[in-house]
Structure 1
Amino acid sequence: MEIGISTFVETTPDVKTGEVISHAQRLREVVEEIVLADQVGLDVFGVGEHHRKDYAASSPAVVLAAAASQTKRIRLTSAVTVLSSADPVRVFQDFATLDGISNGRAEIMAGRGSFIESFPLFGYDLQDYDELFDEKLELLLKLCISEKVSWSGKHRPAIHNLGVYPRPVQNPLPVWIGSGGTPESAIRAGLLGLPLVLAIIGGRPLQFAPLVQLYKRAAAQAGHDVSKLSVASHSHGFIAEDAQLAADQFFPSTQQVMNVIGRERGWGHYDRHSFDAARSFEGALYVGDPETVAKKIIHLRQHVGITRFMLHVPVGTMPHDQVMKAIELLGTKVAPLVREEVSKWEAMQ
């Protein structure tokens, strides 16, 4: 059972002061967070790609590379790479470079992107949203397994038996499929035999269990060894020594971000009642003291079948020391509880 962190490197206005942290400062803070995550024994750290003013990480591989030489064990991944609007050759080269610097700890989480700012920025038509992803994923997977590639498609110039370098330490370089919870994404990942990442950020997490089963059935039908497949969850959350303190610290910035995005997407108003309902035992927010959060992660493992849990923190702009404390508690308190209980549970199966 792997435990880790994901972040979008947000630079939203401070809820209390209205001040906005600079992109440069937030990027430096994230590198510190990755280093701490490694020191406290977490397994993975993911950085998401965005192309708008309130997010600082348009290039996750560069951010992760900044931390690679300062860390020893933690795996470093995008969360996600918006593959539909990217050049797969550059994506591969960036993460192969990261893999070399980290000595084999890089991963790519490839997604279609729930934010669409990158499409006009790089000259892509949203009408080609699905077709772009399928085509570019095909090329990326070829690059991961072969030094020289021949490929042709509709949305990118063809490649005729060309070498792509540097080559990664890992062979192949790991590629995960990121999904917002659609059956199509789960089936695609299963048929390809690729690990699956589910964004479990609303509703009841246990509702994702049928999706995981669909993924495994598709993989089995395609001839893949289901026992070797990994399923991860990406879930909002926060940890403090006291459950009420965790909720009170995490709510203001979470409400701010959810309502900004909600206005863009036509969601209802996000208030404290919505927040408290989501942090209940069956809810999608992993907010509380270490014991509470550990129990929810164990519950998710036992009933949904995830093998990696990524706590997404912060949501919006929070004080850096609070984020660092949450990472410390996840590594030193939550992860040991989860690993011990999961080990016992699996021994009984």
Structure 2
Amino acid sequence: MEIGISTFVETTPDVNTGKTAPHSQRIREVVEEIVLADKVGLDIFGVGEHHRKDYAASSPAVILAAAASQTDRIRLTSAVTVLSSADPVRVFQDFSTLDGISNGRAEIMAGRGSFIESFPLFGNDLQDYDELFDEKLDLLLKLQASEMVTWSGKHRPSINNRGIYPRPVQDPLPIWIGSGGNAESAVRAGILGLPLCLAIIGGSPVQFAPLVQLYKRAAAQAGHDPAKLAVASHSHGFVAETTETAADKFFPSTQQAMNVLGKERGWGHYSRASFDAARSFEGALYVGDPRTVADKIIHLRKHVGVTRFMLHVPVGSMPHEDVMKAIELLGKEVAPIVRSEVAEWEKTL
């Protein structure tokens, strides 16, 4: 069971002061967070790509590369790369470069993206949303498989027997599919034999179990061994010394961020009652003391089949020292409990 962190490097106004940290400050803070995550024994750190004012990470590979030379073992991934609006060749080159700097610790998590700002920014038509992803994923997988590439498609100029460099340390460079819970995405990942990361950020996580089963059936029918395929969860949460402290610190920025997005997407008001319901044992928020968070992750492993858990923190803007403390507790206290108890449970299977 792998445990780690994901972040969107948010730069929303502080709920207490109203001040917004500069993008440069948040980027430097996230590098510190990655270094700490490595130090406390976490397995993975993911940085998500966005192209709007309230997020500082338009280039995850560059941020991850800044941390790569300061870390030793932690794996470094996008979470996600918005592949539909990106050039797959450039994505592969960037992450191959990251793989070289980190000596084989880079991963790509490719997704269609739930934010659309990158489409007009890079000259893509939203009407081609699904077609763009399918075509660009096809090219990305060809780049992964071979140094010399010949490829043609509708939305990008053709490639005729061109070499793609640098080549990664890992062969192949890991490519995950990131999904918000779409059955089509799960089936696609299964057919291709790619690991799947689910954004489990609402409802009951156990409701994702049928989707994981669908993914594995699709993989088996396509000739892949489902037992060898990893499934990850990206879920909002926060760890503190006590559950009450964790909830009180995490709620204000989460409420602010969720209500900003809610206005854009037509969601209802996000209240403390909504928050408290979501942090119940069956809810999708992993907020609490180390034992509480560990128990929820173990439950997710047993009942959904997730083999990698990525705690998404912060949601909105929180004090950097609070985020650092949460990372420390996740690595030093939560992860050992989860790894030990999952290992014992697996012996009984």
Using structure 1 for the length normalisation, give the TM-score: 1.00
Q: Which amino acid aligns with 2:140?
A: L
Q: Which residue of 2 aligns with 1:42?
A: 42
What number of residue pairs does the alignment pair up?
349
Runs of 4+ aligned residues of structure 1 deviating over 3 Å after TM superposition are none
Report SS of the residue matched to 1:234.
strand
Q: In structure 1, what is the Cα distance between the partners aligned to 2:178 and 2:311?
A: 15
- Structure 1, residues 78-128: CA drift from partner, whole Å, max 9, x if none? 000000000000000000000000000000000000000000000000000
Q: Which residue of 1 aligns with 2:301?
A: 301
Q: In structure 1, what is the Cα distance between the partners aligned to 2:230 and 2:335?
A: 18
Map residues 181-200 of structure 1 onto 2, 5 A cutoff. 181-200=181-200
Q: In structure 1, what is the Cα distance between the partners aligned to 2:276 and 2:138?
A: 42
Q: In structure 2, what is the Cα distance between the partners aligned to 1:262 and 1:177?
A: 25
Q: Which residue of 1 aligns with 2:52?
A: 52
Q: Which amino acid aligns with 1:28?
A: R
Q: Which residue of 2 aligns with 1:116?
A: 116
- Structure 1, residues 230-254: CA drift from partner, whole Å, max 9, x if none? 0000000000001000000000000
- Structure 1, residues 191-221: CA drift from partner, whole Å, max 9, x if none? 0000000000000000000000000000000
Q: Which amino acid aligns with 1:184?
A: E
Q: In structure 2, what is the Cα distance between the partners aligned to 1:291 and 1:173?
A: 35
Q: In structure 2, what is the Cα distance between the partners aligned to 1:37 and 1:113?
A: 26
Asked if residue 266 in structure 1 is aligned to residue 266 in structure 2, the reply is yes
Q: Which residue of 1 aligns with 2:141?
A: 141
Map residues 245-324 of structure 1 onto 2, 5 A cutoff. 245-324=245-324
Report SS of the residue matched to 1:311.
strand
Map residues 53-72 of structure 1 onto 2, 5 A cutoff. 53-72=53-72
Report SS of the residue matched to 1:268.
coil
Asked if residue 79 in structure 1 is aligned to residue 100 in structure 2, the reply is no
Instruction: Return the offset for 1:145.
Output: 1.2
Q: Which residue of 2 aligns with 1:32?
A: 32
Q: Which residue of 1 aligns with 2:125?
A: 125
Report SS of the residue matched to 1:53.
coil
- Root-mean-square deviation (CA, aligned residues, Å) is 0.2
Q: In structure 2, what is the Cα distance between the partners aligned to 1:99 and 1:250?
A: 33
Asked if residue 218 in structure 1 is aligned to residue 218 in structure 2, the reply is yes
Q: In structure 1, what is the Cα distance between the partners aligned to 2:316 and 2:147?
A: 40
- Structure 1, residues 19-46: CA drift from partner, whole Å, max 9, x if none? 0000000000000000000000000000
Q: Which residue of 1 aligns with 2:92?
A: 92
Unaligned runs of 5+ in 2: none
Q: Which residue of 1 aligns with 2:241?
A: 241
Q: In structure 1, what is the Cα distance between the partners aligned to 2:145 and 2:165?
A: 12
Q: Which amino acid aligns with 2:170?
A: Q
Report SS of the residue matched to 1:100.
helix
Identity of aligned residues (%): 83
Report SS of the residue matched to 2:4.
strand
Instruction: Return the offset for 1:164.
Output: 0.5
- Structure 1, residues 311-340: CA drift from partner, whole Å, max 9, x if none? 000001000000000000000000000000
Q: Which amino acid aligns with 1:254?
A: T
Q: In structure 2, what is the Cα distance between the partners aligned to 1:209 and 1:189?
A: 16
Q: Which residue of 2 aligns with 1:19?
A: 19
Q: In structure 2, what is the Cα distance between the partners aligned to 1:166 and 1:239?
A: 39
Instruction: Return the offset for 1:18.
Output: 0.4
Q: Which amino acid aligns with 2:231?
A: V
- Structure 1, residues 260-287: CA drift from partner, whole Å, max 9, x if none? 0000000000000000000000000000
Q: Which residue of 2 aligns with 1:338?
A: 338
- Structure 1, residues 142-195: CA drift from partner, whole Å, max 9, x if none? 001100000000000000000010000001110000000011000000000000
Using structure 2 for the length normalisation, give the TM-score: 1.00
Q: Which amino acid aligns with 1:119?
A: F
